[in-house]
Amino acid sequence: MREESNIKIPGAVSVEPPAVKEPVAPREPLPPKPDQQGPEAVSPTGTPTGAPVHSRAQSGPYLTTAQGLRLSDTDHSLKAGRRGPVLLQDHHLREKITHFDHERIPERVVHARGAGAHGVFRSYGTASYITRAGFLAKDVETPVFVRFSTVLGSRGSADTVRDTRGFATKFYTDEGTFDLVGNNIPVFFIQDGIKFPDVVHAAKPHPDREIPQAQSAHDTFWDFVSLHTEAQAHTMWNMSDRALPRSYRTMEGFGVHTFRLVNAEGKTSLVKFHWKPKQGVHSLVWEEAQLINGMDPDFHRRDLADAIEAGAFPEWELGVQVFPDTEEEFFEGIDLLDPTKFIPEELAPVQPIGVMTLNANPVNYFAETEQVAFHPGHLVPGIDVTNDPLLQVRLFSYIDTQISRLGGPNFSQLPINRPHAPVNDMQRDGMHQTAVHSGVAPYRPNSLDGGCPFLAGADVGAFIEVPEELAAAVKERKSPASFDDHYSQAGLFFRSLAPVEQDHVIQAYTFELGKCREQAVRERQLLALANIDSALCEAVATGLGMAAPAATEETAAAAPSPAVSQLGGTWPVAGRVVGIVADAQSDLAAVQAAREALNAAGIVPLVIAPAGGFLGGEEGGIPVQRTYLTARSVEFDAVLLAGAGAPANDAAAGRDAKAGQPDTDVDPRLVLLLTELFRHSKAVGGWAAAGACLDSAGIAQDAAGLALGEGPDDVVPQLIELLAAHRAWDRFPATGA
């Protein structure tokens, strides 16, 4: 489809438009698209090769075997006569089929479904007083690769399920690789890693039927968390809007654990890491998420890739909460080693220390996003771990997992995992060894290889674990008494939300528990809610048609933390998607003006018309990206009405069940789109016949979140202002708890 040079719609499949006929003239492979970038070309041992980033891609104009032998045919197996049988001699068939049989590697047990992107992290230098990590010195720029993911679903599940999201960042520093492996929620379900198999087994599909997929709304999950009440804090976050992010680009990230930083003088501090999206933290509403899972299960993947391709590069500030490194490892009465607790930002403000920009999509999903291997034990000088019992187990589990998934101990030699620092580890051989090691003495000490490799001191960047004095203790399987508080922070979080957000939490608990079959599970979870917040428990019990139990534990009431609410601010709008409804009778000059104004603001404008092609004719006309048949409200952050919306030629139930039998002057699918947008508190703008379209949808023209006017000059600025607040939450009164 032809597009104007000044308005680029993301989503082109190839770097150049394909020909209608099959190309037959030999040529070199096409380069990657401009928005794509592969891993930096370093050797298996971390040495820069000087080769172009894309030098690992296929080369040469002709089809070959894996050994470079040119082939004349790949459509027919070698047979004894045209009717066979197939000959064992067919080396190309066997190579092709054998490789295909082994294309898939075991998927991650959790975080199987992910999306990744390349970028750069630029340090502000503001962390230099607490860490000697080189990549956090002033103005240092470090390449990064980030993988976002859902936790529960398989690789084939949908993006917008209610779930925790992974937020893992690989920093390719010149002191070695640092992995910050976190989530979009600052607390976790369990306090000790030995219970990780239990919580995952409980949350995954039931083992007898392998259902439900990518959901927590089932008996085994709620059976576990209602019995294992330390999970209640994370469960509360998971029932909030945080579990339904609008985009990976509008998702906060947390390191979850407390880490220990060491500065140049050897002084230590305890910190928690935070990623703050520049576009703000925004979410979907539940019905919208359910519709997306059917309409576009790849919604989050597509959104991230399209934003990068469109030049709306996502950005996050990295920040730290800093705490004194005391013997008790507490802050304001909160145990810093308990991963089910977070520290309210009002008590310890997040100090920005750098900014990350994602500016390139992967060239190949499998080679990069699927094979990337993170590990919380990938540390650099100046950053160390603490005795958080969940983190301690992760230090073992992650590397053990990579050996199983990626076929052996040499997974760090895969291009996406290669460090950008020299590697001389004395590790040899093993499956998939791609380095060609020289020398005869991979041991220390040695003289045959000239003594190399040598040990380093702290003065030349060696990693030195922080010496920690251990008090006399008993070897036992117990947790500290401070880990016994399972309810106070869940209540703190709930009471910190705005009333509309509390409504969503009530709805989520009611829906999830309503999907549980066993009455005992629902009763047990209601008891946990009673210990968290009596009003919340009462509202959920009413929705379930059950009696609200009395609390069995007295929980100290902490002051609310406004920072956990997503509402109340305004944010940049770059990367948002706005649909423009137009037809042949529209003022096409006004439509074009709206497109250009939205594009100038970094917003992706998609024209929605009765049929595909061009409005105003292919020569000089406006390209159509969506039709009434293909458009659905969930794809757009807002819609502009620039046409009358008359029923299209295919507005018949026999062609599109959404169309029904038109009995109005407006296409029923446009009416559906508008009613869904309105119900989901999204902005709607328009001019000319916009009022009639709203009337057909039963939407009052004085409702909140509408931008109506004479044309794009006054409507588009209003719409952008509404988008900056994400939703028109004041459209519907909140009930609250």
Catalytic site positions: 111, 183
Please name the amino acid found at residue 585. Answer: Q
Other C-beta atoms lying within 10 Å of the C-beta of residue 418: 22
> Contact at 8 Å (CB) between 116 and 369?
yes
3-state secondary structure of 257: coil
Chain-centre distance of CA 435, in angstroms? 33
Chain-centre distance of CA 100, in angstroms? 29
Please name the amino acid found at residue 65. Answer: T
> Contact at 8 Å (CB) between 216 and 512?
yes
Chain-centre distance of CA 527, in angstroms? 33
Backbone region of residue 469 per phi and psi (left: phi > 0; alpha: psi in -120 to 50; beta: other values) = beta
Torsion of CA 473, 479, 481, 482, to 10 degrees: 110
> Contact at 8 Å (CB) between 171 and 135?
yes
Backbone angles phi, psi at 712, to 5 degrees: -65, -25
Chain-centre distance of CA 159, in angstroms? 9
- How far apart, in whole angstroms, are the C-alpha atoms of residue 165 and residue 262? 29
Helix 389-405 to helix 196-203 angle (10° resolution) is 70
Buried b (16+ CB within 10 A) or exposed e, 351-385: bebbbbbbbbbbbbeebbbbbbbbbbebbbbbbbb
Of 605, 615, 632, whose CA–CA distance to 306 is shortest?
A: 605
- How far apart, in whole angstroms, are the C-alpha atoms of residue 694 and residue 673? 11
Beta strands in 600-648 (DSSP E): 604-609, 614-615, 622-623, 626-627, 638-641
Structure tokens at 144: 């990064």
Please name the amino acid found at residue 494. Answer: F
Of 389, 255, 313, 251, whose CA–CA distance to 37 is shortest?
A: 313
- How far apart, in whole angstroms, are the C-alpha atoms of residue 708 and residue 716? 9
Structure tokens at 200: 């995952």
**DSSP-assigned beta bridge partners for residue 169:** 146, 180
Please name the amino acid found at residue 173. Answer: T
- How far apart, in whole angstroms, are the C-alpha atoms of residue 506 and residue 535? 10
Structure tokens at 56: 């690992």
Give the CA radius of gyration of the chain.
28
Structure tokens at 688: 């000319």
Q: From residue 517, give the alpha-carbon distance in Å to each of 217, 514, 521.
A: 10, 8, 8
3-state secondary structure of 525: helix
**DSSP-assigned beta bridge partners for residue 116:** 147
Beta strands in 197-312 (DSSP E): 253-254, 259-262, 268-277
- For 686, residues 6+ apart whose C-beta sits below 8 A from its C-beta are 581, 640, 641, 642, 693, 694, 707, 708, 715
Task: Provide the pairing of β-strand 165-173 with 141-150.
Answer: antiparallel
The length of the chain is 737
Residues 646, 647, 652, CA angle at the centre, nearest 5°?
175
Of 641, 635, 638, whose CA–CA distance to 609 is shortest?
A: 641
Burial of 217 from C-beta contacts in 10 A (0-12 / 13-18 / 19+)? middle
